[in-house]
Structure 1
Protein backbone atom coordinates (compact mmCIF):
# COMPACT_ATOMS: atom_id res chain seq x y z
CA UNK A 1 0.00 0.00 0.00
CA UNK A 2 1.27 3.48 -0.85
CA UNK A 3 -0.01 7.03 -1.32
CA UNK A 4 -1.26 7.99 -4.80
CA UNK A 5 1.54 8.60 -7.27
CA UNK A 6 0.10 11.93 -8.33
CA UNK A 7 0.58 13.24 -4.79
CA UNK A 8 4.25 12.29 -4.67
CA UNK A 9 4.80 13.92 -8.08
CA UNK A 10 3.07 17.17 -7.13
CA UNK A 11 4.88 17.40 -3.81
CA UNK A 12 8.25 15.95 -4.80
CA UNK A 13 10.05 19.22 -3.96
CA UNK A 14 8.05 20.04 -0.82
CA UNK A 15 9.79 19.86 2.52
CA UNK A 16 6.52 20.40 4.37
CA UNK A 17 3.43 18.77 2.89
CA UNK A 18 0.88 21.31 4.07
CA UNK A 19 0.26 25.05 3.59
CA UNK A 20 2.06 26.25 6.74
CA UNK A 21 5.08 27.58 4.86
CA UNK A 22 8.48 28.05 6.46
CA UNK A 23 7.68 30.77 9.00
CA UNK A 24 4.54 29.36 10.62
CA UNK A 25 6.23 26.30 12.23
CA UNK A 26 8.64 28.72 13.90
CA UNK A 27 5.66 30.69 15.23
CA UNK A 28 4.20 27.47 16.61
CA UNK A 29 7.50 26.50 18.20
CA UNK A 30 7.93 29.87 19.90
CA UNK A 31 4.35 29.77 21.16
CA UNK A 32 4.58 26.28 22.67
CA UNK A 33 8.15 26.64 24.05
CA UNK A 34 9.05 22.94 23.92
CA UNK A 35 11.85 21.82 26.23
CA UNK A 36 14.98 20.22 24.74
CA UNK A 37 15.04 16.44 24.89
CA UNK A 38 11.26 15.99 24.64
CA UNK A 39 10.22 13.19 22.29
CA UNK A 40 7.82 13.67 19.37
CA UNK A 41 5.78 11.05 17.51
CA UNK A 42 4.89 12.48 14.09
CA UNK A 43 2.27 10.38 12.30
CA UNK A 44 2.05 10.84 8.51
CA UNK A 45 5.27 12.84 8.76
CA UNK A 46 5.84 13.16 5.00
CA UNK A 47 9.38 14.20 4.13
CA UNK A 48 10.16 14.92 7.76
CA UNK A 49 10.46 18.69 7.36
CA UNK A 50 8.57 19.62 10.51
CA UNK A 51 10.15 16.96 12.71
CA UNK A 52 13.71 17.71 11.57
CA UNK A 53 13.19 21.44 12.03
CA UNK A 54 11.85 20.93 15.56
CA UNK A 55 14.86 18.79 16.36
CA UNK A 56 17.26 21.47 15.09
CA UNK A 57 15.53 24.52 16.55
CA UNK A 58 14.33 23.12 19.89
CA UNK A 59 16.58 20.16 20.66
CA UNK A 60 13.71 17.68 20.43
CA UNK A 61 14.02 14.01 19.53
CA UNK A 62 11.43 12.16 17.51
CA UNK A 63 10.10 9.37 15.33
CA UNK A 64 8.28 9.97 12.06
CA UNK A 65 5.93 7.42 10.48
CA UNK A 66 4.64 7.62 6.91
CA UNK A 67 2.91 5.34 4.43
CA UNK A 68 4.68 6.74 1.35
CA UNK A 69 7.57 4.51 0.31
CA UNK A 70 9.73 7.40 -0.92
CA UNK A 71 9.29 9.87 1.95
CA UNK A 72 11.42 8.18 4.67
CA UNK A 73 14.51 8.43 2.44
CA UNK A 74 13.77 12.12 1.83
CA UNK A 75 13.28 12.61 5.56
CA UNK A 76 16.61 10.98 6.39
CA UNK A 77 18.32 13.20 3.83
CA UNK A 78 16.71 16.25 5.45
CA UNK A 79 17.89 15.06 8.89
CA UNK A 80 21.43 14.80 7.52
CA UNK A 81 21.19 18.27 5.98
CA UNK A 82 20.10 19.78 9.32
CA UNK A 83 22.54 17.74 11.41
CA UNK A 84 19.91 15.93 13.48
CA UNK A 85 20.38 12.29 12.44
CA UNK A 86 21.18 11.41 16.06
CA UNK A 87 17.84 12.82 17.26
CA UNK A 88 15.25 11.63 14.74
CA UNK A 89 14.29 8.39 13.00
CA UNK A 90 11.79 7.53 10.29
CA UNK A 91 9.64 4.45 9.67
CA UNK A 92 7.84 3.39 6.49
CA UNK A 93 4.51 2.21 7.88
CA UNK A 94 0.82 3.00 7.76
CA UNK A 95 0.31 5.65 10.44
CA UNK A 96 -3.36 4.66 10.91
CA UNK A 97 -3.47 2.67 14.12
CA UNK A 98 0.21 3.20 14.89
CA UNK A 99 1.18 3.70 18.52
CA UNK A 100 4.48 4.48 20.24
CA UNK A 101 6.22 1.80 22.27
CA UNK A 102 6.69 4.30 25.10
CA UNK A 103 4.60 7.40 25.92
CA UNK A 104 5.77 10.53 24.11
CA UNK A 105 5.77 14.21 25.06
CA UNK A 106 4.26 15.42 21.77
CA UNK A 107 2.00 13.38 19.47
CA UNK A 108 1.39 15.02 16.10
CA UNK A 109 -0.54 14.53 12.89
CA UNK A 110 -0.17 17.73 10.89
CA UNK A 111 -2.32 17.46 7.80
CA UNK A 112 -3.42 13.83 7.46
CA UNK A 113 -6.41 13.36 9.76
CA UNK A 114 -7.74 10.72 7.38
CA UNK A 115 -5.57 8.30 9.41
CA UNK A 116 -8.18 8.59 12.18
CA UNK A 117 -11.23 9.11 9.95
CA UNK A 118 -11.30 12.79 10.84
CA UNK A 119 -10.21 15.18 13.56
CA UNK A 120 -11.76 13.56 16.67
CA UNK A 121 -10.63 10.08 15.62
CA UNK A 122 -7.10 11.34 15.00
CA UNK A 123 -7.07 12.98 18.43
CA UNK A 124 -7.99 9.64 19.98
CA UNK A 125 -5.30 7.87 17.95
CA UNK A 126 -2.64 10.32 19.07
CA UNK A 127 -3.76 10.10 22.69
CA UNK A 128 -2.80 6.42 22.83
CA UNK A 129 0.86 7.42 22.59
CA UNK A 130 0.80 10.56 24.75
CA UNK A 131 2.15 10.83 28.27
CA UNK A 132 0.00 12.66 30.86
CA UNK A 133 0.43 16.38 30.43
CA UNK A 134 1.74 16.04 26.88
CA UNK A 135 0.79 18.01 23.78
CA UNK A 136 -1.28 16.96 20.78
CA UNK A 137 -0.71 18.73 17.44
CA UNK A 138 -3.35 18.32 14.75
CA UNK A 139 -3.42 19.99 11.33
CA UNK A 140 -6.88 20.18 9.79
CA UNK A 141 -8.89 22.12 7.18
CA UNK A 142 -11.81 24.36 8.05
CA UNK A 143 -14.22 26.61 6.14
CA UNK A 144 -13.20 30.26 5.79
CA UNK A 145 -16.28 31.13 3.74
CA UNK A 146 -19.32 29.06 2.80
CA UNK A 147 -19.22 28.00 -0.87
CA UNK A 148 -22.22 29.64 -2.57
CA UNK A 149 -22.93 26.91 -5.12
CA UNK A 150 -22.07 23.41 -6.28
CA UNK A 151 -19.23 24.63 -8.50
CA UNK A 152 -17.56 26.29 -5.51
CA UNK A 153 -18.00 23.15 -3.39
CA UNK A 154 -16.42 20.90 -6.00
CA UNK A 155 -13.75 23.48 -6.84
CA UNK A 156 -12.73 23.40 -3.17
CA UNK A 157 -12.22 19.61 -3.38
CA UNK A 158 -15.28 18.97 -1.23
CA UNK A 159 -18.38 16.87 -1.74
CA UNK A 160 -20.72 19.11 0.25
CA UNK A 161 -20.74 22.39 2.13
CA UNK A 162 -20.48 20.44 5.39
CA UNK A 163 -17.19 18.72 4.53
CA UNK A 164 -15.24 21.58 6.07
CA UNK A 165 -16.59 22.93 9.37
CA UNK A 166 -16.22 26.59 10.24
CA UNK A 167 -13.34 27.41 12.55
CA UNK A 168 -15.68 27.63 15.58
CA UNK A 169 -17.28 24.35 14.49
CA UNK A 170 -13.90 22.66 14.16
CA UNK A 171 -12.82 23.88 17.59
CA UNK A 172 -16.07 22.50 19.02
CA UNK A 173 -15.37 19.11 17.42
CA UNK A 174 -11.86 19.05 18.84
CA UNK A 175 -13.35 19.88 22.23
CA UNK A 176 -15.63 16.84 22.14
CA UNK A 177 -12.93 14.29 23.14
CA UNK A 178 -12.25 16.34 26.29
CA UNK A 179 -9.28 18.47 25.22
CA UNK A 180 -8.34 22.08 25.80
CA UNK A 181 -7.18 24.03 22.76
CA UNK A 182 -4.00 25.83 23.84
CA UNK A 183 -2.76 27.25 20.52
CA UNK A 184 -3.97 27.83 16.95
CA UNK A 185 -1.64 28.66 14.04
CA UNK A 186 -3.61 29.07 10.80
CA UNK A 187 -2.15 29.10 7.33
CA UNK A 188 -2.71 32.34 5.43
CA UNK A 189 -3.24 33.07 1.76
CA UNK A 190 0.42 33.70 1.10
CA UNK A 191 1.61 30.41 2.61
CA UNK A 192 -1.19 28.60 0.80
CA UNK A 193 -0.20 30.26 -2.48
CA UNK A 194 3.39 29.11 -2.05
CA UNK A 195 2.33 25.57 -1.19
CA UNK A 196 -0.02 25.14 -4.16
CA UNK A 197 2.07 26.96 -6.75
CA UNK A 198 5.03 24.73 -5.91
CA UNK A 199 2.85 21.77 -6.87
CA UNK A 200 2.33 23.28 -10.33
CA UNK A 201 6.05 23.76 -10.88
CA UNK A 202 6.89 20.23 -9.71
CA UNK A 203 4.17 18.83 -11.97
CA UNK A 204 5.39 20.80 -14.99
CA UNK A 205 8.99 19.70 -14.51
CA UNK A 206 7.93 16.09 -14.08
CA UNK A 207 5.88 16.26 -17.29
CA UNK A 208 8.88 17.58 -19.20
CA UNK A 209 10.96 14.63 -18.01
CA UNK A 210 8.23 11.99 -18.35
CA UNK A 211 5.89 12.93 -21.21
CA UNK A 212 4.96 9.31 -21.98
CA UNK A 213 4.60 8.02 -18.42
CA UNK A 214 1.21 6.62 -17.40
CA UNK A 215 0.03 9.54 -15.19
CA UNK A 216 1.13 12.18 -17.72
CA UNK A 217 -2.23 12.78 -19.47
CA UNK A 218 -4.09 13.20 -16.18
CA UNK A 219 -1.45 15.48 -14.71
CA UNK A 220 -1.28 17.51 -17.94
CA UNK A 221 -5.03 18.10 -17.85
CA UNK A 222 -4.88 18.91 -14.14
CA UNK A 223 -2.11 21.47 -14.59
CA UNK A 224 -4.07 23.18 -17.36
CA UNK A 225 -7.04 23.89 -15.09
CA UNK A 226 -5.52 23.96 -11.59
CA UNK A 227 -4.39 27.61 -11.36
CA UNK A 228 -7.78 29.04 -12.31
CA UNK A 229 -9.63 26.62 -10.04
CA UNK A 230 -7.33 27.50 -7.18
CA UNK A 231 -7.72 31.26 -7.64
CA UNK A 232 -11.50 31.00 -8.04
CA UNK A 233 -12.32 28.49 -5.31
CA UNK A 234 -9.54 26.96 -3.20
CA UNK A 235 -8.01 30.32 -2.30
CA UNK A 236 -11.35 31.74 -1.20
CA UNK A 237 -13.28 29.12 0.74
CA UNK A 238 -11.16 26.51 2.60
CA UNK A 239 -8.85 27.39 5.47
CA UNK A 240 -6.25 25.28 7.23
CA UNK A 241 -4.49 25.39 10.57
CA UNK A 242 -2.54 23.56 13.26
CA UNK A 243 -4.18 23.16 16.63
CA UNK A 244 -2.31 22.36 19.86
CA UNK A 245 -4.37 20.45 22.42
CA UNK A 246 -3.96 19.12 25.94
CA UNK A 247 -6.10 16.59 27.78
CA UNK A 248 -8.23 18.02 30.55
Structure 2
Protein backbone atom coordinates (compact mmCIF):
# COMPACT_ATOMS: atom_id res chain seq x y z
CA UNK A 1 0.00 0.00 0.00
CA UNK A 2 1.66 3.16 -1.20
CA UNK A 3 1.22 6.18 -3.45
CA UNK A 4 2.22 5.92 -7.09
CA UNK A 5 5.86 6.94 -7.58
CA UNK A 6 4.94 9.60 -10.13
CA UNK A 7 3.01 11.58 -7.50
CA UNK A 8 5.91 11.43 -5.08
CA UNK A 9 8.34 12.69 -7.72
CA UNK A 10 6.03 15.46 -8.90
CA UNK A 11 5.53 16.91 -5.42
CA UNK A 12 9.31 17.12 -5.02
CA UNK A 13 10.36 19.53 -2.28
CA UNK A 14 6.88 21.01 -1.77
CA UNK A 15 5.76 21.04 1.83
CA UNK A 16 2.11 21.97 1.20
CA UNK A 17 0.59 19.62 -1.37
CA UNK A 18 -2.27 21.82 -2.53
CA UNK A 19 -2.69 25.38 -3.88
CA UNK A 20 -2.07 27.00 -0.47
CA UNK A 21 1.08 28.84 0.54
CA UNK A 22 2.41 29.06 4.09
CA UNK A 23 0.62 32.35 4.75
CA UNK A 24 -2.78 30.92 3.77
CA UNK A 25 -2.22 27.83 5.89
CA UNK A 26 -1.35 30.06 8.84
CA UNK A 27 -4.39 32.25 8.13
CA UNK A 28 -6.60 29.17 8.22
CA UNK A 29 -5.22 28.12 11.60
CA UNK A 30 -5.95 31.57 13.04
CA UNK A 31 -9.37 31.82 11.36
CA UNK A 32 -10.75 28.67 12.99
CA UNK A 33 -9.57 29.91 16.42
CA UNK A 34 -7.48 26.93 17.44
CA UNK A 35 -6.80 26.56 21.16
CA UNK A 36 -3.88 24.92 22.97
CA UNK A 37 -4.32 21.15 23.22
CA UNK A 38 -7.12 21.00 20.66
CA UNK A 39 -6.93 17.57 19.04
CA UNK A 40 -6.81 17.19 15.25
CA UNK A 41 -7.05 14.38 12.73
CA UNK A 42 -5.66 15.15 9.26
CA UNK A 43 -6.59 12.57 6.62
CA UNK A 44 -4.29 12.51 3.57
CA UNK A 45 -1.88 14.57 5.63
CA UNK A 46 0.89 14.60 3.02
CA UNK A 47 4.15 15.92 4.43
CA UNK A 48 2.53 17.04 7.65
CA UNK A 49 2.82 20.79 7.26
CA UNK A 50 -0.65 21.56 8.62
CA UNK A 51 -0.23 19.58 11.83
CA UNK A 52 3.40 20.52 12.43
CA UNK A 53 3.04 24.26 11.91
CA UNK A 54 -0.23 24.44 13.85
CA UNK A 55 1.28 22.44 16.71
CA UNK A 56 4.11 24.96 16.90
CA UNK A 57 1.91 28.07 16.48
CA UNK A 58 -1.16 27.02 18.49
CA UNK A 59 -0.09 24.15 20.73
CA UNK A 60 -2.50 21.65 19.19
CA UNK A 61 -2.02 17.90 19.16
CA UNK A 62 -2.86 15.59 16.32
CA UNK A 63 -2.56 12.58 14.07
CA UNK A 64 -1.91 12.61 10.34
CA UNK A 65 -2.75 9.67 8.08
CA UNK A 66 -1.37 9.21 4.58
CA UNK A 67 -0.99 6.34 2.14
CA UNK A 68 2.48 7.48 1.01
CA UNK A 69 5.44 6.06 2.91
CA UNK A 70 7.64 8.84 1.51
CA UNK A 71 5.27 11.62 2.60
CA UNK A 72 4.78 10.04 6.03
CA UNK A 73 8.53 9.88 6.58
CA UNK A 74 8.86 13.51 5.48
CA UNK A 75 6.10 14.52 7.93
CA UNK A 76 7.91 12.81 10.80
CA UNK A 77 11.13 14.64 9.91
CA UNK A 78 9.23 17.93 9.78
CA UNK A 79 7.85 17.29 13.25
CA UNK A 80 11.38 16.83 14.57
CA UNK A 81 12.60 19.91 12.69
CA UNK A 82 9.89 22.09 14.26
CA UNK A 83 10.31 20.46 17.70
CA UNK A 84 6.72 19.20 17.84
CA UNK A 85 7.31 15.45 17.61
CA UNK A 86 5.83 15.09 21.10
CA UNK A 87 2.57 16.69 19.94
CA UNK A 88 1.94 15.07 16.55
CA UNK A 89 2.22 11.61 15.06
CA UNK A 90 1.98 10.35 11.51
CA UNK A 91 0.51 7.02 10.46
CA UNK A 92 1.03 5.21 7.16
CA UNK A 93 -2.45 3.96 6.30
CA UNK A 94 -5.35 4.27 3.87
CA UNK A 95 -7.13 7.43 5.01
CA UNK A 96 -10.48 6.29 3.59
CA UNK A 97 -10.67 3.36 5.99
CA UNK A 98 -8.78 4.75 8.96
CA UNK A 99 -10.67 4.66 12.27
CA UNK A 100 -9.35 7.07 14.88
CA UNK A 101 -9.53 5.61 18.41
CA UNK A 102 -10.91 8.74 20.13
CA UNK A 103 -13.05 11.70 18.98
CA UNK A 104 -11.17 14.85 17.97
CA UNK A 105 -11.90 18.58 18.06
CA UNK A 106 -11.03 19.12 14.38
CA UNK A 107 -11.03 16.60 11.53
CA UNK A 108 -9.52 17.69 8.20
CA UNK A 109 -9.09 16.49 4.65
CA UNK A 110 -7.58 19.14 2.40
CA UNK A 111 -7.73 18.42 -1.31
CA UNK A 112 -8.33 14.68 -1.29
CA UNK A 113 -12.10 14.26 -1.38
CA UNK A 114 -11.62 11.28 -3.64
CA UNK A 115 -11.39 9.26 -0.39
CA UNK A 116 -15.14 9.67 -0.01
CA UNK A 117 -16.10 9.82 -3.67
CA UNK A 118 -16.69 13.55 -3.40
CA UNK A 119 -17.21 16.27 -0.84
CA UNK A 120 -20.25 14.83 0.94
CA UNK A 121 -18.75 11.36 1.23
CA UNK A 122 -15.55 12.86 2.62
CA UNK A 123 -17.56 14.87 5.16
CA UNK A 124 -19.13 11.60 6.30
CA UNK A 125 -15.71 9.97 6.72
CA UNK A 126 -14.40 12.91 8.73
CA UNK A 127 -17.52 13.06 10.89
CA UNK A 128 -16.81 9.55 12.19
CA UNK A 129 -13.84 10.94 14.13
CA UNK A 130 -15.44 14.15 15.39
CA UNK A 131 -16.55 14.92 18.93
CA UNK A 132 -19.98 16.52 19.37
CA UNK A 133 -19.62 20.20 18.47
CA UNK A 134 -16.32 19.62 16.68
CA UNK A 135 -15.26 21.19 13.40
CA UNK A 136 -14.54 19.74 9.97
CA UNK A 137 -12.09 21.20 7.43
CA UNK A 138 -12.62 20.24 3.81
CA UNK A 139 -10.42 21.42 0.92
CA UNK A 140 -12.25 21.32 -2.39
CA UNK A 141 -12.03 22.71 -5.96
CA UNK A 142 -14.82 24.76 -7.51
CA UNK A 143 -15.47 26.55 -10.78
CA UNK A 144 -14.49 30.22 -10.81
CA UNK A 145 -16.21 30.60 -14.16
CA UNK A 146 -18.38 28.33 -16.27
CA UNK A 147 -16.02 26.16 -18.36
CA UNK A 148 -16.73 26.83 -22.04
CA UNK A 149 -15.87 23.39 -23.40
CA UNK A 150 -14.77 19.86 -22.56
CA UNK A 151 -11.10 20.71 -23.13
CA UNK A 152 -11.28 23.22 -20.29
CA UNK A 153 -13.01 20.68 -18.06
CA UNK A 154 -10.32 18.05 -18.64
CA UNK A 155 -7.47 20.55 -18.20
CA UNK A 156 -8.94 21.39 -14.80
CA UNK A 157 -8.64 17.77 -13.58
CA UNK A 158 -12.33 16.96 -14.08
CA UNK A 159 -13.99 14.33 -16.24
CA UNK A 160 -17.27 16.19 -16.74
CA UNK A 161 -18.39 19.70 -15.79
CA UNK A 162 -20.53 18.41 -12.92
CA UNK A 163 -17.53 16.91 -11.15
CA UNK A 164 -17.17 20.36 -9.54
CA UNK A 165 -19.66 23.00 -8.43
CA UNK A 166 -19.36 26.74 -8.64
CA UNK A 167 -18.72 28.36 -5.24
CA UNK A 168 -22.39 29.02 -4.37
CA UNK A 169 -23.25 25.51 -5.51
CA UNK A 170 -20.52 24.00 -3.34
CA UNK A 171 -21.68 25.90 -0.26
CA UNK A 172 -25.28 24.88 -0.95
CA UNK A 173 -24.25 21.22 -1.33
CA UNK A 174 -22.52 21.33 2.05
CA UNK A 175 -25.50 23.00 3.71
CA UNK A 176 -27.93 20.53 2.18
CA UNK A 177 -25.83 17.73 3.70
CA UNK A 178 -26.46 19.10 7.17
CA UNK A 179 -23.44 21.33 7.83
CA UNK A 180 -22.90 25.07 8.25
CA UNK A 181 -20.01 26.80 6.50
CA UNK A 182 -18.55 28.92 9.31
CA UNK A 183 -15.20 29.97 7.80
CA UNK A 184 -13.31 29.67 4.54
CA UNK A 185 -9.87 30.50 3.17
CA UNK A 186 -9.56 30.45 -0.62
CA UNK A 187 -6.56 29.98 -2.88
CA UNK A 188 -5.76 32.85 -5.24
CA UNK A 189 -3.97 33.00 -8.56
CA UNK A 190 -0.58 33.48 -6.95
CA UNK A 191 -0.91 30.47 -4.66
CA UNK A 192 -2.17 28.40 -7.62
CA UNK A 193 0.84 29.56 -9.66
CA UNK A 194 3.28 28.71 -6.89
CA UNK A 195 1.85 25.21 -6.58
CA UNK A 196 1.65 24.48 -10.31
CA UNK A 197 4.95 26.00 -11.35
CA UNK A 198 6.87 24.22 -8.61
CA UNK A 199 5.98 20.95 -10.33
CA UNK A 200 7.49 22.11 -13.60
CA UNK A 201 10.87 22.93 -12.10
CA UNK A 202 10.85 19.68 -10.16
CA UNK A 203 10.06 17.67 -13.29
CA UNK A 204 12.75 19.42 -15.35
CA UNK A 205 15.45 18.77 -12.77
CA UNK A 206 14.29 15.18 -12.30
CA UNK A 207 14.40 14.60 -16.07
CA UNK A 208 17.90 16.04 -16.27
CA UNK A 209 19.00 13.57 -13.59
CA UNK A 210 16.98 10.55 -14.85
CA UNK A 211 16.74 10.80 -18.67
CA UNK A 212 16.37 7.05 -19.15
CA UNK A 213 13.86 6.33 -16.39
CA UNK A 214 10.62 4.56 -17.34
CA UNK A 215 8.70 7.72 -16.40
CA UNK A 216 10.86 10.06 -18.46
CA UNK A 217 8.68 10.07 -21.59
CA UNK A 218 5.52 10.68 -19.61
CA UNK A 219 7.12 13.50 -17.64
CA UNK A 220 8.60 15.14 -20.76
CA UNK A 221 5.10 15.28 -22.25
CA UNK A 222 3.68 16.65 -19.00
CA UNK A 223 6.37 19.33 -18.81
CA UNK A 224 5.42 20.44 -22.32
CA UNK A 225 1.66 20.37 -21.86
CA UNK A 226 0.98 21.30 -18.24
CA UNK A 227 2.18 24.94 -18.31
CA UNK A 228 -0.21 25.59 -21.20
CA UNK A 229 -3.08 23.84 -19.42
CA UNK A 230 -2.45 25.98 -16.38
CA UNK A 231 -2.23 29.38 -18.04
CA UNK A 232 -5.03 28.72 -20.51
CA UNK A 233 -7.54 27.13 -18.21
CA UNK A 234 -6.78 26.25 -14.58
CA UNK A 235 -5.83 29.70 -13.30
CA UNK A 236 -8.82 31.21 -15.11
CA UNK A 237 -11.55 28.67 -14.37
CA UNK A 238 -10.63 26.60 -11.31
CA UNK A 239 -10.75 27.77 -7.72
CA UNK A 240 -9.80 25.91 -4.56
CA UNK A 241 -10.45 26.57 -0.92
CA UNK A 242 -10.74 25.16 2.56
CA UNK A 243 -14.13 25.32 4.24
CA UNK A 244 -14.68 25.05 7.99
CA UNK A 245 -17.91 23.26 8.90
CA UNK A 246 -20.03 22.79 11.99
CA UNK A 247 -22.95 20.37 12.07
CA UNK A 248 -26.34 22.05 11.83
Q: TM-score normalised to the size of structure 1? A: 0.98
1:17 aligns with 2:17: yes
Aligned to 2:41: 41
For 2:70, the equivalent position in structure 1 comes to: 70
1:122 aligns with 2:103: no
Higher helix share: 2
User: Once superposed, which parts of structure 1, at least 4 consecutive aligned residues long, lie more than 4 Å away?
Assistant: none
Aligned-pair CA distance for 1:55: 0.6
Match of residue 102 from structure 1: 102
Spell out the pairing of 1:83-232 with structure 2 (5 A cutoff).
Answer: 83-232=83-232
Instruction: Provide, for residues 165-211 of structure 1, a one-character-per-residue CA deviation record: whole Å limited to 9, x for no partner.
Output: 00011111111221111001110000000001011111111111111
d(CA) in 2 for partners of 1:159, 1:118 = 13
**Which secondary structure does the structure 2 equivalent of 1:84 belong to?**
coil
Superposition TM-score, scaled by structure 2 size: 0.98
1:57 corresponds to: 57
Superposed CA RMSD in Å reads 1.0
Describe the SS at the equivalent of 1:107: strand
Tell me by how many angstroms 1:147 deviates: 1.1
State the shift of 1:3 in Å: 2.0
Q: d(CA) in 1 for partners of 2:103 and 2:159? A: 37
- Matched length: 248
Structure 1, 222-231 or 150-159: larger mean CA deviation? 150-159
> What secondary structure, in the 3-state scheme, does the structure 2 residue paired with 1:96 have?
helix
Q: Give the superposition deviation at 1:219.
A: 0.4
Shift of 1:7: 1.3
Higher mean alpha-carbon deviation, 121-130 vs 154-163, is at 154-163
1: distance between equivalents of 2:5 and 2:29?
Answer: 32
Other-structure match for 2:32: 32
